[in-house]
């Protein structure tokens, strides 16, 4: 049973897939009709240009058999026009010059242009053979872009279905679905009212019948108690235990659903920049050589990550005082200004300042959205709300890179940054329409440096943070944000292709995190999952120096995603348990230190990767960073603290965490 919401999502997916299949088929046919004639026309222009140049030499009195440099000239033409497989100069006595060879397989189209010699006499002809495989590859590339944009469109549509249909309508469907699923499992507990006025006509029949059954059960139990019938009481209690009759289930919180569309759009704005940002930064780097290519590419990423890390703790209090909605709107506006300034930047220093502005807005939006969820969800509802929060971020990290790469390739990096600014402003508008207005508050017990210091004196916590949390983000940010884009750029891949490679990590995370989280909880082995995840991610990067190749690079990204999926939820759960076990008031310090160290790894990763790449190259840098992660996982395993940390504190609540967040 897929449920009502699942049914709506599946219907949207089928409709979009059918539409995209038709569009893709039509685009392929149109491309073949338009690209092939264009390539042939281009080859004819090149042939006439080459024929005119040769003819000019013949008219100047140079004999045809004394012409030099013709083959080299043809080589240059083919280098500039890869669709030209072969260029020949043919005279009366036969072939005089050749570059390339005809493609194997089916006959290839050819074009020719006559060469006019002295007194306009025939001096031969230039014959060009077009490679149809190049045309096919161009069409396939366009269709591949269309396919990935289609996948992203589907994910975006599913993510924004609540915004399109209306939050009230989605809540009503969710309320009905909860009751239907419960009845299908034989559960007869009553449900708190949820979904508002739209849900009441749909849920009232369920609630009336369940309430009537609960009343009959209570009456039967009272009667059995008056009679002193112990056997009947035991049977009725067993029925209540098995079916939940008489209990009341808490309603799902609305907090994550309200903030999710705006958060998704905002995170999408930043994720669009991932494939092309290092290359764009290098193009703006000063020409005096004071900043090397690796440093020029990494510095904007490092500045962004460092600002996000340093602003997390102070902005948490700021968003409380301003109000979560105001904090989100202000952060989105700052980020949009930064993206727009990035689009207009023609100087490296201006671009660096723009990234700092965007990072400030990003940090304020993140803590405001997270604070909104925490403020409006309690107990078990908080865990599910934070899971929704994290999924919005991960889906954005899945959708953003391929779209950003296509925009940068087709329209330029400046346009891509402008699109990011547009998404940030759209997120601002959606947040203004959906988030509830509320006055800012000043809460007692805000996080202080003393709290962080007290948490840092806990050996068990520091083994986890220094051995696993910091190295995991260090490797992720350094490899995914800097090393991989630069290496793929060096190998000649476009920004669109780089964006597709960057989908590997979030795809594995989206699928793997809930799976490994459930396994870790069921086996009570969170510490082992954390250690194993670090080893898997680190060994993937360590394999790259063995034989640097595209396949090993893909394997490293896949193993990084697998390792992080294995460890990240368990790591966050261990930290939450330690926060729950901390002395009164110490839990905030544990969580704050965790977030600070995680985000410090995000900042240190690209900085170290840039320096290492300049010194030992891509493969060496990947291997050294992987070695750090492996060493950290072994340090955590040898600390002797993992087993104690793996036992969940009674009643421990999953506090606000950043699991799954790219930052």
In order along the chain (663 residues), what is the average pLDDT of each group of 10 residues?
58 71 70 72 86 81 76 86 84 79 76 78 81 69 67 68 56 68 75 56 74 84 85 84 74 64 90 91 82 85 90 83 90 96 92 95 90 68 64 82 87 93 94 77 57 72 85 89 87 83 84 80 82 91 84 89 86 76 66 80 87 86 91 84 44 43 61
Tokens linked to 351: 């671009």
Of 211, 204, 169, nearest to 190 by C-alpha is: 211
Q: What phi and psi values does residue 323 have, to the nearest 5 degrees?
A: 100, 140
pLDDT for the residue 550: 83
Task: Quickly count: other Cβ atoms within 10 Å of residue 167's Cβ.
Answer: 18
Q: How many CB atoms lie within 10 A of CB 4?
A: 19
Residue 527's pLDDT is 84
Of residues 126, 115, 146, 111, the one with CA closest to residue 39: 111
Q: How many whole angstroms separate alpha carbon 634 and alpha carbon 637?
A: 5
Q: Which two tokens stand for residue 556?
A: 């490293």
What is the structure's pLDDT at 649?
A: 43
Question: In whole angstroms, what separates CA 477 from the centre of its chain?
Answer: 12
pLDDT at 390: 75
Beta strands in 54-210, from DSSP E residues, in sequence order: 84-91, 94-100, 110-116, 122-130, 190-191
What is the C-alpha to C-alpha distance for residues 393 and 271, in angstroms, rounded to an integer?
10
Structure-derived torsion over alpha carbons of residues 562, 603, 605, 403, reported in degrees to the nearest 10: 60
What local confidence, expressed as pLDDT, does residue 331 receive? Answer: 95
pTM of the model as a whole = 0.70
Rounded Cα distance between 367 and 297, Å, is 27
Residues 6+ apart with CB under 8 A from 441: 320, 321, 323
* pLDDT recorded at residue 342: 94
Q: What per-residue confidence (pLDDT) applies to 135?
A: 64
Q: What is residue 656's predicted lDDT score, i.e. its pLDDT?
A: 40
Q: Domains, the chain, ranges and CATH?
A: 16-137 (3.30.450.20), 167-249 (no CATH), 255-446 (1.20.1250.20), 457-663 (1.20.1250.20)
Q: What angle do CA 39, 44, 47 make, to 5 degrees?
A: 125
Tokens 């727009």 belong to residue = 340
The answer to whether the CB of 185 falls within 8 A of the CB of 162 is: no
- 623 in Cβ contact with 545 (< 8 Å): yes
Query: And the tokens for 200?
Result: 């009441």
Predicted local confidence at residue 365, as pLDDT: 93
The pLDDT score that the predictor gives to residue 1 is 46
Check residue 202 and give its pLDDT: 65
Phi, psi angles (nearest 5°) of residue 125: -155, 155
């Amino acid at each position: 049973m897929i449920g009502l919401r699942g049914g709506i999502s599946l219907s949207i997916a089928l409709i979009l897939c059918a539409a995209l299949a038709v569009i893709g088929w039509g685009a392929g046919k149109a491309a073949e009709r338009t690209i092939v004639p264009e390539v042939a026309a281009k080859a004819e222009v090149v042939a006439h240009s080459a024929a005119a140049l040769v003819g000019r030499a013949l008219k100047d009195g140079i004999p045809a058999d004394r012409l030099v440099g013709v083959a080299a000239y043809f080589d240059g033409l083919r280098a500039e026009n890869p669709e030209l497989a072969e260029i020949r100069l043919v005279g009366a006595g036969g072939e005089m010059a050749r570059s390339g060879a005809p493609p194997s397989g089916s006959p290839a189209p050819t074009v020719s242009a006559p060469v006019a010699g002295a007194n306009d006499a025939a001096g031969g002809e230039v014959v060009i053979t077009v490679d149809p495989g190049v045309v096919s590859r161009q069409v396939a590339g366009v269709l591949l872009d269309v396919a990935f944009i289609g996948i992203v469109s589907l994910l975006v549509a599913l993510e924004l279905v609540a915004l399109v249909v209306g939050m009230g309508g989605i809540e009503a469907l969710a309320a009905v679905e909860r009751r239907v699923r419960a009845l299908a499992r034989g559960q007869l507990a009553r449900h708190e009212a949820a979904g508002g006025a739209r849900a009441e006509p749909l849920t009232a029949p369920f609630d009336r019948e369940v309430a009537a059954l609960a009343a009959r059960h209570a009456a039967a139990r009272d009667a059995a108690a008056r009679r002193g019938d112990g056997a009947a009481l035991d049977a009725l209690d067993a029925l209540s235990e098995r079916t939940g009759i008489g209990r009341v289930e808490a309603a799902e919180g609305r907090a994550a659903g309200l903030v999710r569309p705006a958060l998704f759009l905002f995170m999408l704005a930043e994720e669009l920049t991932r494939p092309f940002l290092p290359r764009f930064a290098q193009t703006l780097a000063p020409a005096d050589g004071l900043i090397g290519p690796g440093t020029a590419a990494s510095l904007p990423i490092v500045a962004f990550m460092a600002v996000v890390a340093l602003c997390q703790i102070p902005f948490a209090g700021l968003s409380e005082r301003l109000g979560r909605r105001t904090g989100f709107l202000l952060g989105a506006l700052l980020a949009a200004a930064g993206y727009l300034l990035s689009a207009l930047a023609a100087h490296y220093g201006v671009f660096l300042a723009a990234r700092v502005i965007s990072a400030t807005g990003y940090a304020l939006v993140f803590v405001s959205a997270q604070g909104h969820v925490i403020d409006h969800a309690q107990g078990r509802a908080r865990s599910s709300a934070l899971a929704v929060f994290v999924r919005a971020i991960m889906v954005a990290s899945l959708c953003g890179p391929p779209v950003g790469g296509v925009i940068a390739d087709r329209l330029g990096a400046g346009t891509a940054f402008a699109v990011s600014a547009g998404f940030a402003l759209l997120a601002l508008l959606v947040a203004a329409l959906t988030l509830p207005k509320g006055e800012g508050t000043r809460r007692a017990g805000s996080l202080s440096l003393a709290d962080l210091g007290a948490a840092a004196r806990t050996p068990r916590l520091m083994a986890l943070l220094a051995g696993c949390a910091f190295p995991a983000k260090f490797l992720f940010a350094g490899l995914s944000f800097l090393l991989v884009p630069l290496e793929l750029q060096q190998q000649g891949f476009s920004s669109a292709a780089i964006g597709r490679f960057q989908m590997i990590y979030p795809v594995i995370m989206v699928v793997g995190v809930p799976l490994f989280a459930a396994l870790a909880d069921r086996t009570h082995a969170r510490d082992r999952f954390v250690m194993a995840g670090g080893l898997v991610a680190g060994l993937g990067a360590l394999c790259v120096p063995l034989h640097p190749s595209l396949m090993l690079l893909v394997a490293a990204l896949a193993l990084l995603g697998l390792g992080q999926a294995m460890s990240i939820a368990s790591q966050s759960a261990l930290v939450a348990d330690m926060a729950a076990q901390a002395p009164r008031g110490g839990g905030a310090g544990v969580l704050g230190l965790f977030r600070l160290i995680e985000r410090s790894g995000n900042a240190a990763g690209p900085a170290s990767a840039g320096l290492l790449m300049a010194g030992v190259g891509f493969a060496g840098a990947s291997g050294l960073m992987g070695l750090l992660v492996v060493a950290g996982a072994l340090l955590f395993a040898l600390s002797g603290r993992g087993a104690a940390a793996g036992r969940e504190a009674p009643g421990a609540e999953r506090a606000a965490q950043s699991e799954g967040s790219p930052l």
